[in-house]
Amino acid sequence: MAKLNLVGLVVSQGKMAKTVKVRVQGKVYDKRIHKEVIKRKDYLVHDEGNLCKEGDIVRIEAIPRISARKTFAIAEIKVNKGQQFALYETIAQERLQQQEQQLTDLSIKSRQEVENTITKIEDLKILDKLVNRYQREPDAEEQNKLVSEVNRIKEKYGIKSWPSTEPIVELELNAADREISEIERRTANFGAIYEKYMTKEWEEERNRILSLMTKTPVDQLAKNTAKNILRKYVLDVRNECPV
């Protein structure tokens, strides 16, 4: 006797070991309304190799009962869409991790520049005090010590003379601090920002951002992938977002 074979769509995977949920649909004539209607039924299907992904179109075949709800097994993966979706999601996550790492590196670099500039300013304050002290110091031995310390600081920063008319410190502290603070603020508030983007009011803007950031159609994006793309957009301080 021929085994029962059905073709359906994998709608759930990974929640149970070696098991996927396959949705099979077909047309059935309804005598009450005298027309064909679409009938859907979900089956728990045995997947021995854990090969199927959500979105795959598969052929399932009846087998001896394995458990109370499993009487079918995967016979063939006919269309491998689920694998493609999983690949797109993996690539998107890798790109997101790279971009987040770049933002982290930028933040660390900006912070380091701020700290270096602050250290330089403190050294210049010390240099100014040493020069003033040298002018008032009558003891020759003490003057030599002060000159040695002054020369050390001048050599450290390549200063030819002091006081100097040349620019020594590039003061970009405010801009760097603002950028770091904005990244930290958006990271801390991303949950609230994401919830706002998911509202009906922000649907058009959300779809615009997703279309801009990926070539995959918006309606085909997995929820986690869309969230990762929105996070990438929000953490770029050049972009405006609802905070």
pLDDT in tens, 147-185: 888 788 888 877 777 666 566 665 554 555 556 677 777
232: left (phi over 0), alpha (psi -120 to 50) or beta: alpha
Domain closes at, from 79, 103, 119: 79
To the nearest 10°, the Cα dihedral for 159, 164, 169, 170?
Answer: -120
The predicted model scores a pTM of 0.39
Domain carrying residue 187: 85-235
Residues 73 and 93 in one domain: no
User: Please, what is the end-to-end C-alpha distance for the chain in angstroms?
Assistant: 65
Domain shared by 134 and 230, yes or no? yes
Q: Same domain for 62 and 136? A: no
Q: Clarify whether residues 10 and 98 are in a common domain.
A: no
What pLDDT was estimated at residue 215? 83
> How many CB atoms are located within 10 Å of the residue 52 CB?
23
Q: Which structure tokens are listed for 239?
A: 């972009």
Q: Mark which of 34, 64, 79 sits at the end of a domain.
A: 79
Residue 240 lies in a domain: no
Domain total of the chain: 2
Residue-wise pLDDT for 171-226, tens only, equals 554 555 556 677 777 787 888 888 888 888 888 888 888 888 888 888 888 888 88
191 DSSP assignment: H
Residues 113 and 223 in one domain: yes
Of the two residues 54 and 163, the one the predictor is more confident about is: 54
Final residue of a domain: which of 57, 79, 101?
79
